[in-house]
Structure formats: structure tokens, C-alpha cells
């Protein structure tokens, strides 16, 4: 009976190590996106130019809520890190540990630019890369990223990984569309690959919301 009680007492301690794993260390990931295969009308005059994507997120060191972007004190003012930060690992008690960044060469701004380009492509738009190729019919888009963050919520049998994305799209300097998405899923461990899964789900949701806004444009 004593052995059984000892084993039961060790379960919470074991969960701490299982759930935290390599969470103390920084993780770096690459997130790949692909557009759906669509029949594009080659004669279509629809085109779009994504002019600017601004990352307006604010970071804290030790926020009350894990859904607030956070970094260690020595990097909270480091722009190179902030532009790539997408999540903060936590242990079984919710204590902030290592962060998760996009690998060098990819930023939250570049990821969201690609995301919005995919939405336009799937609706038959031609994406203009060079400003010199803009026509009078080209839609000019500016983007503000207000939220882009993933976080972990501890649980007894499983953890919850959540992602929230909030953007403002200004199209042709007239229409300003706000797009907010939130998703979550349950996992046994908070590995970097699981964070990527929930983030990619949110990105797909964001694409669909952008397409809905575009369809409603005059």
C-alpha cells in the first residue's frame, strides 16, 4: 500500500518533467504554407500588391496571462528576436520557460504577408511583387499585425495549446477590415511540432476569413 501511495505521489512530479521536456531551451521552427489548387482565369485583371506588413505586437516579461507575448528580460527589447517570436514554452505549472522563434529568414511579418497573398491567390488574384507592375485596377493592401501568439495551458491529463491572430487589412486606403481568429487543441506534450500544428490551423482559418472579406468588397 505504501508503494502504491508513493507511486501516486510521484505522478505530478513525473508530469512536470514530461510536459516541460526540453522546454527550458529555445526552439526554432519554420512554418511552410501552400495555397490550394485553384483554376485561375488567365484573362482575369484581378491583381493585388501587399505594400506593407507591420508587426505591432507588444511584449512583456512576466505577464499575468500566457496569451500575452513574452520574452526574457535581456531580449524583450531586441527587435531581431521579437520579429520572430511566436510562442513561449511553459512547464506543468504554467511557468514561462524557453521561447519559440521562427528560424532566421522568416518573420511574423513575412509569414502573414505570405498568408494574405495565399488568400488572394485562391480567389484568382495575381500577386504583384514589383511595385512597378501595379495597374489602376490593382488592389493595394497594408497590414497591421495586432496579435500573433501561441501559448500553453496546463491540464491534469493533457495540455491545451492555443493560437490567436488579429490583423487589420487596409485595402486601397479606404476599406479597413479587422480579422480575428482563435483556435486550440489538446496534446500530451508541448513539443515544438505541436505548436506548429496549432499555428498552421490558425493560419488556415485566417486565410478563409480574409477570403470572406475580399468577397464582400465592392
User: Is residue 46 a part of any domain in this protein?
Assistant: yes
Examine the pLDDT at 57 and tell me if it is beyond 50. Answer: yes
Name beta bridge partners: 182: 164
Joined grid coordinates for residue 144: 497591421
pLDDT of residue 16: 41
pLDDT tens string 118-145:
999 999 999 999 999 999 999 999 999 9
Q: Which of 185, 186, 190, 189 is nearest to 202 (CA)?
A: 185
Given pLDDT bands bounded at 50, 70 and 90, which one contains residue 77?
confident
User: Is residue 26 a part of any domain in this protein?
Assistant: no
- Residue 36 to residues 54, 57, 144, 146, Cα–Cα distance (Å): 26, 29, 25, 26
% of the chain with per-residue pLDDT over 70: 83
User: Is residue 28 a part of any domain in this protein?
Assistant: no
Mean pLDDT score, 69-93: 85
Q: Which domain holds residue 90?
A: 2-20+40-215
User: Is residue 157 a part of any domain in this protein?
Assistant: yes
- Tally of structural domains, the chain: 1
User: Is residue 11 a part of any domain in this protein?
Assistant: yes
Examine the pLDDT at 38 and tell me if it is beyond 70. Answer: no
User: Is residue 78 a part of any domain in this protein?
Assistant: yes
How many Å apart are CA 70 and CA 60, to the nearest integer?
5
pLDDT of residue 41: 53
User: Is residue 32 a part of any domain in this protein?
Assistant: no
pLDDT of residue 13: 40
Mean pLDDT score, 42-60: 89
User: Is residue 199 a part of any domain in this protein?
Assistant: yes
pLDDT of residue 23: 54
Q: The domain spanning residue 81 has which CATH number?
A: 3.40.50
Amino acid at each position: 500500500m505504501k508503494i502504491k501511495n508513493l507511486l501516486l505521489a510521484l505522478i505530478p512530479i513525473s508530469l512536470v518533467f514530461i510536459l516541460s521536456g526540453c522546454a527550458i531551451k529555445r526552439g526554432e521552427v519554420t512554418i511552410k504554407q501552400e495555397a490550394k489548387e485553384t483554376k485561375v482565369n488567365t484573362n482575369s485583371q484581378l491583381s493585388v500588391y501587399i505594400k506593407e506588413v507591420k508587426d505591432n505586437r507588444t511584449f512583456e516579461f512576466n505577464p499575468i496571462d500566457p496569451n500575452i507575448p513574452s520574452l526574457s528580460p535581456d531580449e524583450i527589447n531586441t527587435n531581431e528576436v521579437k520579429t520572430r517570436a511566436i510562442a513561449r514554452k511553459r512547464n506543468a505549472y504554467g511557468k514561462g520557460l524557453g521561447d519559440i522563434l521562427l528560424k532566421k529568414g522568416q518573420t511574423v511579418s513575412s509569414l502573414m504577408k505570405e498568408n494574405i497573398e495565399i488568400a488572394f491567390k485562391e480567389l484568382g488574384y495575381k500577386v504583384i511583387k514589383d511595385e512597378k507592375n501595379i495597374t489602376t485596377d490593382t488592389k493595394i493592401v497594408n497590414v497591421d499585425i495586432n496579435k500573433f501568439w501561441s501559448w500553453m495551458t496546463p491540464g491534469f491529463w493533457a495540455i491545451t495549446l492555443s493560437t490567436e491572430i488579429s490583423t487589420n487589412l487596409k485595402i486601397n486606403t479606404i476599406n479597413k477590415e479587422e480579422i480575428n481568429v482563435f483556435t486550440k487543441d489538446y496534446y500530451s506534450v508541448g513539443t515544438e511540432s505541436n505548436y506548429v500544428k496549432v499555428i498552421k490551423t490558425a493560419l488556415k482559418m485566417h486565410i478563409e476569413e480574409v477570403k470572406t472579406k475580399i468577397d464582400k468588397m465592392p
